[in-house]
């Protein structure tokens, strides 16, 4: 798994990330459980050209 935010390491959360990565056919995924500010803060640091971001506002 990628580096996870505090409190995101529950088995259910990890299962969701693995399942999402498998579904999308990619190596890994990161699901942020925080609000808008958490997502905006992390986006620039985590994404590179060719990455896919799905953001539920």
Within-domain flag for 21: yes
Per the CB < 8 A criterion, the answer to whether 17 and 44 are in contact is no
Within-domain flag for 1: no
Domain extent, residue 38, equals: 11-46
What mean pLDDT do residues 19-46 have? Answer: 81
Domains identified in the chain, total number: 1
Within-domain flag for 5: no
Sign of CA dihedral 20, 56, 6, 48: positive
Within-domain flag for 6: no
What mean pLDDT do residues 18-35 have? Answer: 86
Within-domain flag for 4: no
Q: What is the mean pLDDT of the chain?
A: 79
Q: How far is CA 36 from the centre of its chain?
A: 13
Q: What is the pLDDT of residue 1?
A: 46
How far is 54 from 52, CA to CA, in rounded Å?
7
Within-domain flag for 20: yes
Within-domain flag for 24: yes
């Amino acid at each position: 798994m990628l580096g996870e935010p505090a409190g995101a390491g529950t088995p259910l959360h990890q299962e969701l990330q693995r399942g999402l990565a498998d579904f999308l056919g990619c190596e890994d995924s990161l699901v942020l459980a925080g609000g808008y500010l958490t997502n905006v803060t992390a986006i620039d640091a985590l994404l590179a050209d060719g990455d896919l971001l799905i953001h539920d506002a």
